[in-house]
Amino acid sequence: MSVSMSAYGSALRVTVEFAGGIDAHVKPECLQMVDGAKLARIELPRRLDDSRAPTMRSLIAHVAQHCFASGAELFSTDDELRPGILAIINDADWEITEDGVDKYDYVLQDQDAIVFVSTLHGG
């Protein structure tokens, strides 16, 4: 996903925390330690190339492309999270959705706090 702020006006800003060992594969320059948490601040255009608002699916693809030097396949496959990695949106389980709504289609809001935590043995 290419991101150009000038083409889309103000950016959508979300914070992404990596935990449970998946943080070991994230580029160090993307991370900042805050109170023991490894956080990255991600800026996305408010409208994507297809004029739709960014969703969790687009965030995952963006993170895999821009925040991982190698080992992105340990985080996601295409634009879906690898099984065993949980996502938490604003301190709530991202799997709480209405019936028939895909959790990947959650439309990101400005200042959302997303956590990706690996539950896999050894991270």
Partner 1 sequence: MCDGASPSAAGAGRRAVVPNMCVKCKTAPPSIAIRRILYCKACFVRASVAKFRTAHTKSLKGAPRPRPRAMVALSGGAASSALLRLAADHQAMARKGTEAAPPYAGITVGHIDESALFPGAPESEIRAAAAASGLPCVWAALEDAFAPGEGRAALLELAQATPQAGILARLARAPDGASGRAQLAALFAGLGSATDREDMLQMLKTALIVDMARRSGCGVVLVGDSATRIAVRAMSLTSRGRGFSLPLDVGAEMRWFDGVDVYRPMRDFVAKEIAFFNRWTGQPSAAVPTFTTGQPRSASIDRLSEAFIVELDQGFASTVPTVCRTLQKLEPCAEARAARPCAACGMPADIDGCETPADIDGCETPADIGDCGAPADIDVSAALCYSCRGLLRRAAPGTALPQFCLARLEAADAGARRAALRRQIDAFLIGE
Residues that bind partner 1 (CB under 8 A): 3, 13, 15, 17, 19-21, 23-25, 27, 29-32, 34-37, 39-43, 62, 66-67, 71, 73-74, 83-84, 86, 88-93, 95-98, 106, 109-113, 115, 117-123
3-state class of 26 per DSSP?
A: strand
Query: Please, what is the minimum distance in Å from the beta carbon of residue 90 to partner 1?
Result: 6
- Report which secondary-structure segment, H or E, holds 66: helix 56-66
Query: Please, what is the minimum distance in Å from the beta carbon of residue 66 to partner 1?
Result: 5
Region of 35 (left: φ > 0; alpha: ψ -120 to 50; beta: rest) is left
User: Judged by CB, which is closer to partner 1: 52, or 97?
Assistant: 97
- In degrees, to the nearest 5, what angle opens at C-alpha 27 toward C-alphas 57 and 32? 95
Strand partners, 115: 17, 88
Query: Please, what is the minimum distance in Å from the beta carbon of residue 74 to partner 1?
Result: 6
Place of tokens 């809001």: 109
User: Judged by CB, which is closer to partner 1: 43, or 49?
Assistant: 43
Query: Please, what is the minimum distance in Å from the beta carbon of residue 6 to partner 1?
Result: 14
Asked if 57 contacts 77 with a C-beta cutoff of 8 angstroms, the reply is no
User: Judged by CB, which is closer to partner 1: 50, or 92?
Assistant: 92
